[in-house]
Amino acid sequence: MNAPSSTTIRTPPPLIFSEVRKSYGETEILKGVTLTLNRGERTALLGSNGSGKSTLLRLIPRITAPTGGEIHVLGKELQHLSRKELKLLRAHIGFVFQKHLLVPRLSALTNTVHGALGRTSFGRAWFHSLAPQPIREEALACLEKVGLANHALKQTRHLSGGQSQRVAIARALMQRPELIIADEPVASLDPESGENVMRLLGELSQTDNLSLLFSTHHLEHALNYADRIVGLSSGRIIFDKRSDQTSLEELRSFYE
């Protein structure tokens, strides 16, 4: 299902799902999903628990492989990529997890430097102290963007949930991504931190013209920070509208 969009497409769309299916054993989670993301577009993915949102997102950097169908990411067909090509592609997809999944005993700066792991040679992005000066400067600039430059040397286990999620976003930015995927990025945060993180993601994708695909249960977040809202139910896309053409009531009815 393709969304109406006014964006003029000059380069291939960052993400194309064609009849994608995914099963775990006998259970079919995704039942033929077709979806195209437009460049620079911010898309919210809605759906109740078990609808297949996380599975869909995890297919994009091929954390898990589909059972059928085709997935094109940044112009590349995932199925035919070699291990090395997949590694290079992953380096350009920023992935923000529900739980930040940082290395707790390392500093915010080193965790941000890890964003360059996919594009640097052996050992140069393992620790900020071993990284070349341009990488350290870039990582600090990414932390500055998320407002945490003054916590650069703090171990991430000493940061709050909201701060940790912002470091995870800085790490994703360090990848110089063309596409950012966020799997319920505010699910484990309090409302205020969640709002801050969503505002940050929305603003950064807009200023850097990044394509953003995030899943959420917060209908207000979908309306405020997405250009387009896609609804998933029982492994199928049943809703696809521009956010300015829908309302909170309509989105609520989608969950009923």
Partner 1 sequence: MSNDPALSPQAELSLPPRFRFPGMGRTFGIIALFALISLSLHGAEISFSSFREGIPYMKEVLFEMLPPDLSRISNIGALLLDTLYMAIAGTCIGVLFALPLAVLAARTTSPHTALYAISRASVSLARTVPDLVWALFFVVTVGIGSFAGVLTIAIDTLGFCGRFFAESIEEIDHSPEEALETLGAGRCAILATYIFPTCTPSFINTVLFSLEKAVRSSVVLGLVGAGGIGVELKVAMDTLQYGQASTIILCIFVVVLVVEQMSTRARTALLTTS
- Check binding of 22 to partner 1 (CB under 8 A): no
- Check binding of 201 to partner 1 (CB under 8 A): no
Q: Report the residue from 16, 37, 73, 93 that binds partner 1 according to the rule CB under 8 A.
A: 93
- Check binding of 104 to partner 1 (CB under 8 A): yes
Q: Report the residue from 39, 42, 114, 136 that binds partner 1 according to the rule CB under 8 A.
A: 114
Pick the piece of the chain touching partner 1 (CB under 8 A) from 10-18, 20-28, 120-128, 187-195: 120-128
Q: How far apart are CA 131 and CA 161, in angstroms?
A: 27
- Check binding of 91 to partner 1 (CB under 8 A): yes
φ, ψ of residue 246 to 5 degrees: the values are -130, 175
Pick the piece of the chain touching partner 1 (CB under 8 A) from 10-18, 24-32, 123-131, 146-154: 123-131
Q: Report the residue from 61, 66, 162, 202 that binds partner 1 according to the rule CB under 8 A.
A: 61
Q: Give the binding site for partner 1 (CB under 8 A).
A: 61, 63, 87-88, 90-91, 93, 95, 97, 99, 101-106, 110, 114-115, 117-119, 122-123, 125-127, 168, 171, 175
